[in-house]
């Protein structure tokens, strides 16, 4: 039950967390992030609910000493296992797809603001900077663009030096670390 609840909690954070919903609301048609975001939530909820149901059926089977409930519990565990294997395979075979799609969204918004200063995307870029506590993209030549001066909040210590692409990458590495650990523990169980 704890594993099921953990998966449900992680899926809920992934779906409704500020960092993820901000990027999902901005995602444009040709970007795959919105599809990945919604699919991850649905798959996580289904796996979590299946594990919770399996645990409840197993508990009831133990108390009632029922062979049918035991069989139904094992069937639910088998369904969960059959769902976890493809999820783990996708996670390891498409390691950078989520990261790339999130960075594509940031690049798209950044370039839209750079091209058109009065664009409504400026508010979205400012929201990304506030959420990820970062400011713009760093040039290898050390110059800052006018975009950073217009969309980065003054007075945030440390935020002005942080590259948003690096911050998005670091945030996702931490989150995907939790996902990988939970997948591994659940598969082993």
pLDDT digits (tens, 9 = 90+) for 61-85: 989 889 999 999 999 999 999 999 9
Is this structure's pTM higher than 0.75? yes
Nearest-angstrom CA–CA distance, 156 and 138: 17
Nearest-angstrom CA–CA distance, 97 and 32: 9
Segment 17-39 mean pLDDT: 88
- Start-to-end CA span in the chain (Å): 12
- pLDDT above 80 for 185: yes
Q: At how many degrees (to 10) do helices 67-93 and 33-64 cross?
A: 160
pLDDT digits (tens, 9 = 90+) for 111-138: 888 888 677 888 888 899 899 988 888 7
**Domain spans of the chain?**
1-188
Mean pLDDT lowest among 82-96, 129-143, 150-164: 150-164
The predicted structure's pLDDT at residue 94: 86
């Amino acid at each position: 039950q704890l594993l099921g609840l953990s998966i449900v909690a992680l899926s809920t954070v992934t779906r409704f967390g500020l960092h993820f919903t901000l990027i999902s609301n901005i995602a444009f048609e040709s970007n795959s992030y919105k599809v990945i975001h919604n699919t991850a939530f649905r798959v996580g909820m289904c796996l979590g609910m299946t594990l919770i149901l399996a645990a409840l059926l197993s508990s009831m089977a133990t108390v009632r000493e029922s062979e049918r409930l035991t069989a139904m519990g094992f069937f639910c565990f088998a369904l969960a296992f059959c769902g976890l294997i493809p999820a783990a395979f996708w996670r390891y075979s498409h390691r950078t797809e989520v990261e790339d799609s999130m960075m594509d969204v940031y690049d798209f918004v950044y370039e839209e603001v750079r091209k058109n200063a009065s664009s409504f995307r400026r508010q979205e870029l400012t929201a990304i900077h506030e959420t990820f506590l970062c400011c713009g993209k760093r040039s290898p030549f050390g110059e800052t663009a006018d975009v950073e001066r217009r969309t980065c909040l003054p007075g945030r210590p440390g935020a002005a030096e942080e590259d948003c692409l690096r911050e998005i990458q670091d945030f996702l590495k931490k989150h995907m670390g939790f996902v990988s650990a939970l997948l591994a523990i659940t598969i082993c169980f």
